[in-house]
Amino acid sequence: MKNAHKSGRRGFTLVETLVTIGISTSVIVALLSVYITCLRYWRQSMLAVQTTQEANHCLSQMIYGVGSNSGLRASCAVTNLGITTDWKFQSSNYSGVAWYDFNTAQQTVLYSNSAGQQVIGTNIVASSATATVNTIQISLTVLKTDGGYSQSNTVSTFVKLRTASTR
C-alpha cells in the first residue's frame, strides 16, 4: 500500500500568501481611491447642473410666464420699484399686471399677480436687474451646498419689451 502523503509540496507557502495579499490590497486601495475621486467630481458636477437648472428655470418663468400668465417677453411696460439691493418690477401686458420681487434675505424671487403669489426661484444669493424704457436685463446667481461641496452659477438674460404697436 502506498503512503497517503507524497513527499512533494502541496498548497501555498506563507510568503506566497503574503505577497498575494499585498498585491490584492494595493489593487483594492488604488481602485477605491479612483472611485472616491470620481464620486467627488460627480457630486460637484451635479451641484453645477442643479444651480444652472434653478437659475434657468427662474429666468424662464420670468421671461415666458408663470402658468397661463404671460411673462416679461409679452410686456409692454416694466417699472422698477426696487430701492435697495433687492429689486421689484411691475410688468404690464395683456394678461394684466404682475410683480417680480427679489428678496436678498430670503434668497428667493417671487411672482405676484391679482390671483396670488408664488416662489419661482430659490437659493439666489445675488441678483441684479436693470430696466430701461424698452429693455430689461436680469442676472441671477444661485448657490447650493451639499456637505463639504458648494457650487454657484450666474445666469443672465436681456429682454426687449414689446411696444404697444407690436402687441
pLDDT digits (tens, 9 = 90+) for 6-27: 556 688 899 999 999 999 999 9
**Nearest in space to 161 (alpha carbons), one of 79, 103, 60:** 79
Domain-located, residue 137: yes
How many whole angstroms separate alpha carbon 161 and alpha carbon 13?
Answer: 83
pTM of the shown model: 0.75
Domain-located, residue 9: no
Is residue 127 within 8 A of residue 137, CB to CB? The reply is no
Q: What is the pLDDT of residue 93?
A: 80
Domain-located, residue 31: no
pLDDT tens-digit series, residues 67-96: 888 888 888 778 777 666 788 888 888 778
How many whole angstroms separate alpha carbon 102 and alpha carbon 65?
Answer: 16
User: Kindly report the CA angle at 18 between 17 and 22, in degrees rounded to 5?
Assistant: 120
Domain-located, residue 161: yes
pLDDT tens-digit series, residues 154-166: 999 998 887 654 4
What is the total count of domains within the chain? 1
Q: What is the three-class DSSP state of 113?
A: strand
pLDDT tens-digit series, residues 109-144: 999 988 889 999 999 999 988 888 788 899 999 999
How many whole angstroms separate alpha carbon 126 and alpha carbon 160?
Answer: 23
Long-range contacts of 145-149 (CB under 8 A, 24+ apart): 145/47, 146/43, 146/46, 146/47, 147/43, 149/40, 149/43, 149/44, 149/47
Within 10 angstroms of residue 34's Cβ, the number of other Cβ atoms is 10
- Helix, strand, coil abundance in the chain, percent, nearest 5: 35, 40, 30
**Nearest in space to 112 (alpha carbons), one of 126, 97, 128, 98:** 98
Residue 60 DSSP label: H
Let me know how long the chain is. Answer: 167
Domain-located, residue 20: no
- The domain of 93 spans 37-166
Q: What is the pLDDT of residue 45?
A: 92
Residue 107 DSSP label: T
Domain-located, residue 121: yes
Q: What is the pLDDT of residue 166?
A: 44
Domain-located, residue 27: no
Q: What is the pLDDT of residue 5?
A: 54
Domain-located, residue 21: no
